[in-house]
Structure 1
Amino acid sequence: MTVYVIVQLKMIDRAAYDRYQARFFDVFKKFQGRLLSADEKPAVLEGVWDRDKLVLMSFPDEAAFRAFADSPEYLEISKDRKAGADGIALLAKGFEQRLKQG
């Protein structure tokens, strides 16, 4: 079942975050994820949003996400992400749709 990773970031050290971002795709492309959005100016439709960036990714299943997130390569670069931005990360399961055949 597809899973989605939603990350909301508040920048605290842009230079550190930029180092992370520069190395992100070299790691990410080794896994089965898809980057769906990385928006620094998402439209707030309701409520108050105090973050600077929203990132949306998908993976074929939770195991694929965990392989990425727990990989030595990602753990190494994530040090700059954690130093550069305060993050809220969510893992959401997608819907599994089955069509009835008539």
Structure 2
Amino acid sequence: MTDLPVHVVANFTVQDAAKYREYEKGFFPILKKHGGEFITFDDSSVTFEGAAPPEGRIVLLKFPSQQAATAWYDDPDYQALSEHRRAGTTLNFLTMVHSIAPRN
């Protein structure tokens, strides 16, 4: 079986915009290094049914495989950079969502 793409979904509230901007400045080169793609973000998502996620920003990323997403998250450069995110936001979740194989 070939590797399938995965998505990473994050939900957080920005508490300190200056610290979060430091995170944003270095984020995209590290994302690209691991084949990641920034899909979108939303500060006012709409929940049609069920419990809404906590208020805040939803971010959606895509990676070519679980291995690529894990390598991005575990990258020492990303972990060092993420200290700015941790200092400037309240993180509710950072979750990997697996794709399913195409149906024939």
The answer to whether TM tops 0.5 is yes
What's the CA shift for 1:15? 1.4
Counterpart in the other structure of 1:65: 69
Quote the Cα distance in structure 1 between the aligned partners of 2:22 and 2:46: 26
Q: Give the C-alpha shift of residue 18 in structure 1.
A: 1.4
- Partner AA of 1:90 in structure 2: T
Question: Within 5 A, what are the aligned runs for 1:54-93?
Answer: 54-87=58-91, 88-93=93-98
Partners of 2:96 and 2:80 in 1: CA distance: 21
Structure with the greater alpha carbon radius of gyration: 1
Moved over 6 A (4+): none
* TM-score normalised to structure 2 length: 0.84
Report the aligned-residue RMSD: 1.5
> How many residue pairs align between the two structures?
99
Structure 1, unaligned runs of 5 or more: none
Letter in 1 for 2:97: A
Q: Percent identity?
A: 27
TM-score (norm. length: structure 1): 0.85
